[in-house]
Amino acid sequence: MALFTKGITFSKKVTTLTLEVIDTPLPQRVILPLKQYIGEASQPVVGKGETVTTGQLIATAPTDTSLPLHATISGTIKDITDYEDATGTPSPCLIIEGDGTDTWAETPTTKEEKALSSFSPAALIERIHAAGLITTQLAPVPLTTDLVPIDQPKTHLIDGQRITKKIDTLLITALDKEPFLGVNRSLAGQNNKDLADGITALRIITGASFVRFVVDTHSGPYTQINELVAADEAETTTLTAVNGRRFPIGLAIPVIKAALGREVPLPYGHPRDVGVALYDIATAIAVGQAVNTQLPQVDSLITVGGGALSTTGIVRVRIGTPIREVIDACGGFREEPAKIILGGPMTGMAHYDLDIPITKETEGLFALSHDEIQLSGDYRQCINCGRCVAVCPVNLLPGILSLYCAKDRFDMAEADGLFQCIECGCCDYVCPSRRPMVHLFRHAKRQVMET
């Protein structure tokens, strides 16, 4: 299917990744930001100096859009103080000094043997919320905020009218946001007992009639996904294979276009506006685990890569681990890195501090060498070559937009679709004048929002 033909294709060489999961040793300390994503900061229920066990609730969610916070290692609360979180801004954090034993909290063993299908959506959402799950498809938000339960449809303002759309398709993507990341491809290639349950739970909550898997043709084989598709006799489960080396097909807006041919209204649109619930396979598995075991999420898989690192691959880390410890666990630097990036090299954020923690939304950790990066430096005038137009996944004219933004004509940029930009960075990548397009667009967006 050629519903998505724009974007850029990376060569096999630069995107090759070992999809084996590497376990890292327990971190000596973890840093857990209390403010998680959009909601209010969680309220700590433990004090300084208290002993905590792994999985113990250490902060409660004050509102529906906040998340409860759990200790991810056992040890003592060393401090509750301001610390730089994954966005590089100081926010109140709980710091746990590990005791190295990883003692788990006593879990309620009253495990009712109840079939998953007999759960109500509200009961499932309760468990997902208690596990502290998030989704990162558009921006990191608590999963329960993003989910649209079948009995509580969310409305959206489009064209001046409120539109309520029922979720009809649950889109489970085995693509990573960038070809350089590999967590979802790695999970899709393995068998996981919680995947089917997670999908069932998400189907019960959203009431979706159809399930669609999106997989990468360059990875696989997808034994379990194929089995799930074959096992569904009602033929409501289908599979779409797309070229995962083509960036940005893994991002939310393009993947819906590529798999279903639907266009999410932009700007400020959400997959639910076109009747789609979009989650990646890692989220589906986490949902399955949360529903089955009622245990909180304490670790996550991240992709570790970049030319400056000795070992690269998929790494299982405890949430809150400082990136310095992750790098040490991977054998340290092979050479002095030029950039440290949380997220992927195309859309991630560069950091200057190795002590910031891995959080739930962290998908990758990249240490790029000086050879790999290319700075804008003294960028040149746009030469109107149209390469950005050829790659822009949302059909903008990035070169012309960047001229408006650089000349402070934010009104014209807005009229020409500035807020449609999904900041994938394709235009930036191809620009022969090395114009910092995404930089200019973000600057312009902020200027417009502030006025």
Partner 1 sequence: METHYIVSMSPHLRSTLSIERMMQTVLIGLIPAAVMALYLFGIKSLIIMVLAMATAVIVETVIERLTNQPLTYKDCHAILTGVMLALILPPSVPWWIPVIGAGVAIILGKMVFGGLGNYPFNPPLVAWVVLKLSWPERMSFFIEPHTASQALTPLMALKEDPSLFYSYAMGDLFLGNIPGALGTVCALAVLIGAAFLLYRGVIRWHIPISFLGGVALFAAILHAINPDIYPPVIFHLLSGGLLLGAFFLAPEPVTSPVTPTGMLLFGFLAGILTMIIRMWGAYPDGTFYAILIMNAATPLFNYLKPKEYGRVNRA
List of residues contacting partner 1 (CB under 8 A): 8, 158-160, 253, 257, 263-266, 269, 336-341, 343, 345-352, 366, 368, 372-376, 378, 380-390, 393-397, 399-400, 417, 420, 423, 425, 428-434, 436, 438-439, 442
Our CB check for partner 1 shows the closer of 41 and 266 to be: 266
In whole angstroms, how close is the CB of 429 to partner 1 at the nearest point?
A: 5
Q: How far is the CB of 417 from partner 1 (least distance, A)?
A: 5
Task: Give the residue from 346, 304, 349 showing the smallest Cα distance to 329.
Answer: 304
Cα(184)–Cα(59) distance, integer angstroms: 29
Angle between helices 193-206 and 121-131 (to 10 degrees): 130
For partner 1, the closer CB: 55 or 348: 348
Contact between 168 and 159 under an 8 Å Cβ cutoff? The reply is no
Nearer to partner 1, 264 or 301 (CB): 264
- Would you say 66 or 359 has its CB closer to partner 1? 359
Nearer to partner 1, 182 or 337 (CB): 337
* Phi/psi of residue 314, nearest 5 degrees: -95, 130
Q: What angle do the packed helices 193-206 and 281-293 form, to 10 degrees?
A: 90
| Closer to partner 1 by Cβ: residue 139 or 375 | 375
Query: What is the DSSP track for 319-339?
Result: TT-BHHHHHHHTT-BSS--SE
Residue 380 beta carbon to partner 1: minimum distance, rounded to whole angstroms: 6
Identify which of 144, 48, 145, 129 has the alpha carbon closest to the alpha carbon of residue 96: 48
* Residue 185 Cβ vs partner 1, minimum distance, rounded to whole Å: 19
Evaluate whether 58 touches 32 at the Cβ level (below 8 Å): yes
Question: For residues 437-447, b (16+ Cβ closer than 10 Å) or e, as one string?
Answer: bbbbbeebbee
